[in-house]
Structure 1
Amino acid sequence: MEKIIKKRFERDLIACLLLILPFGACSQSTSESNNSHQASADGEYVLMFDGQTLRGWEGDTSYWRVEDGKIIGERKATDEPLKRNTFLIWKGGQPADFDLTLQYKISDAGNSGINYRSEQLEDTPFALKGYQADIDGKNNYTGQLYEERKRTTLAYRGQVVEVPDANGGEVKNNAWTGLMVKGTLGEDAKLRAAIKANDWNTCRIVAKGNSLQHYINGVLMSEVLDNDGKNRRDAGFIGVQIHVGPPMRVEFRDMKLKILH
């Protein structure tokens, strides 16, 4: 009798363990997976655009839409002329130090840019004031650092510039006076040759402290060390622009951002 009871006990114990172990193993695996996912997300690029909607962005949908996995900004010939530049603004935060990459394609007559560390104006719809990585269809300005509604041009393509503290600086001929050109990144013709017309280009912006770098297709196009404590902005909104002027079209895709610590 004791042997029968012992066998039944062993059988019931094994059955119980078989029921418990899979759940325990599953729970452990899920926990490890979550921890691994969290670890890999730290310091990695996050997608700014879901490829299907303008969720997380704010702008005038008369000019901005999503099509075939791209954000498209377009002012058609039949549209009313723009009275001021208009932006599509990313509402996912106001990053300070970051590494931003995206791909863009722009029409011949297009004039656009990627604003960052910018202030959103309260009295003007979809307007930003701040740093801008310039892009245009004729590649006259692509790669330079322009400051929208503020100090205007801070570095032309090919320049390494230091902006001194604001002692008498002013806007003159669409550029900020008192800039100190500390070096060159190469001849303009060679830098311009690295930018593709009527095709996709990769723009990268690296902002860390008061150091600002603009790259196009992996080539450093301009670099600014902004020591102007009065006028510089250390964090703010990111946005993309449609400029006043002739009808134009600009497209963006593969937009991703990495926060730097």
Structure 2
Amino acid sequence: MKKTIKYLKRSGLLVLFPVMIITACGQSNADKQKDTPTDNEQADSGFVHIFDGKTLDGWEGDSAYWRVEDGMLIGERKASDKPLERNTFIIWKGGEPADFELTLMYKISPEGNSGINYRSDPVASIPNALKGYQADIDGKNKYTGQNYEERKRTTLAYRGQAVEVPDDEQGESKNNAWTTVIVKDTLGDLDKLKSSIKEADWNECRIVAKGNRLQHYVNGILMSDVVDNDTKNRKMSGSIGVQIHVGPPMQVAFKDIKLKTL
């Protein structure tokens, strides 16, 4: 009885009737459980699910490589499949957001190479292809978290870099990186950043695109930070999509894909 009274005082409740004790105990048990946000809670937070976990409705890609299974969006190239000639995407058709936050969970096989494209454009001459900013993902965590611009300026920021891309028409891609990028700061010890990314397990990726600033987080840790002042080449809105990269057989899985416009 003393424990109950102490708990109720801490909760700011007055013990007037026995039913209030039962209610408080019920709240205590619920607090111990891991809650799943309701649709209303998601709406209140501003995030909406853009993948329903059941179908590919609202997404467009090659069904030979993309499927839905157990609530996951899975991209896979099997050993028995014909090797890919180029990277292939499944693209969200629900809009071309400008300023937003995108969060999702991903898991990738050890030999896998993938990415999350945003503010991107379809490639007119190639089906299921995008060009634009990409939050890189790979199974060996060599590139995960960096900002790589697919089919455009290539690497804008390696993992652990805060950079500025100047408004300089002399820039070019050399050794798979944009030459005029200015590194303004570092985001932490590179070994520690890498060790915070789980191999062959679920990780959370969060992309924040606001104005000309692009931030990539993995498991809550900022991995790259780009301020893009390159008015000729930057993109301020565009498509979202996820990728299967050319190379060895691989699998990547995504779930809980949520978008909030800013």
TM range (shorter): 0.7 to 0.9
Equivalent residue, structure 1, for 2:241: 239
Q: Which residue identity lines up with residue 120 of structure 2 in the other structure?
A: S
Give the corresponding residue for 2:8: none
Kept in 1: contact 2:74–2:252 (CA 8 A)? yes
Equivalent-residue separation in structure 2 for 1:210 and 1:66 (angstroms): 34
SS at match of 2:235: coil
**Native 8 Å contact 1:129 1:150 kept in 2:** yes
Look up the match of 2:111: 109
One-letter amino acid of the structure 2 residue matched with residue 229 of structure 1: T
Task: State how far apart, in whole Å, the 1-side matches of 2:86 and 2:79 are.
Answer: 16
User: Does structure 2 conserve the Cα–Cα contact (< 8 Å) formed by 1:169 and 1:176?
Assistant: yes
For 2:45 and 2:208, how far apart are their aligned partners in 1? 14
Cα distance, 1:214 vs. partner? 0.2
Residue ranges of structure 2 left out of the alignment (5+ in a row): 1-38
Tell whether 2:204 aligns with 1:213.
no
Deviations 1:55-89 (A, max 9, x none): 00000000000000000000000000000000000
- Corresponding residue number in structure 2 for 1:250: 252
Q: Which amino acid aligns with 2:178?
A: W
- Find the counterpart in structure 1 of residue 190 from structure 2: 188
Shift of 1:187: 1.2
Q: CA deviation at 1:38?
A: 9.2
Match of residue 60 from structure 2: 58
Give secondary structure in 2 for the equivalent of 1:250.
Answer: strand
Q: Is 2:42–2:48's contact at 8 Å kept on the other side of the alignment?
A: no
1:136 equivalenced with 2:138 (yes/no): yes
> Which position in structure 1 is the counterpart of 2:13?
none
Alignment match of 1:74 (pick from 63, 73, 76): 76
Q: 1:91 aligns with which of 77, 90, 93?
A: 93
Opposite residue 260 of structure 2, the aligned amino acid is K
- Which residue number corresponds to residue 197 of structure 1? 199
1:171 to 159, 164, 173: 173
Cα separation, partners in 2 of 1:40 and 1:135, compared to 1, 3 Å? closer
Alignment check: 8 A CA contact 1:130 1:150 kept: yes
CA shift, 1:41, in A, is 3.5
Larger Rg: 1
How many Å separate the matches in 2 of 1:169 and 1:50?
A: 41
Give aligned-pair identity as a percent.
Answer: 71
TM-score scaled by structure 2?
Answer: 0.84
The question of whether the paired residues in 2 share the 8 Å contact of 1:95 and 1:117 is answered with yes
Judge conservation of contact 1:134–1:141 (CA < 8 Å) in 2.
yes
Task: Give the drift of 1:43.
Answer: 6.2
CA distance in 1, matches of 2:241, 2:86: 15
* Distance of 2:47 and 2:105 partners within structure 1: 15
Alpha-carbon distance in 1 for matches of 2:45, 2:89: 28
Which amino acid is the alignment partner of residue 99 of structure 1?
A: E
RMSD of aligned residue pairs (Cα, Å): 1.4
Matching residue's letter, 1:113: G
SS state at 1:228 partner? coil
Q: C-alpha displacement at 1:42, in angstroms?
A: 6.7
User: 1:200/1:43 Cα in 2 relative to 1: closer, same or farther (>3 Å)?
Assistant: closer
Runs of 4+ in 1 over 3 A off after TM superposition: 37-43
Which whole-Å deviations, capped at 9, do the CAs of 1:128-168 have from their partners, x for residues lacking one?
00000000000000000000000000000000000001320
* Offset at residue 108 of structure 1 (A): 0.3
Q: Give secondary structure in 2 for the equivalent of 1:74.
A: strand
Map residues 121-132 of structure 1 onto 2, 5 A cutoff. 121-132=123-134
| 1:253 aligned partner, one-letter code | K
Residue by residue over 1:185-235, the C-alpha shift from the partner in whole angstroms, topping out at 9 and shown as x without a partner, is 011100001000010000000000000000000000000000000000000
Deviation at 1:40, TM superposition (A): 8.0
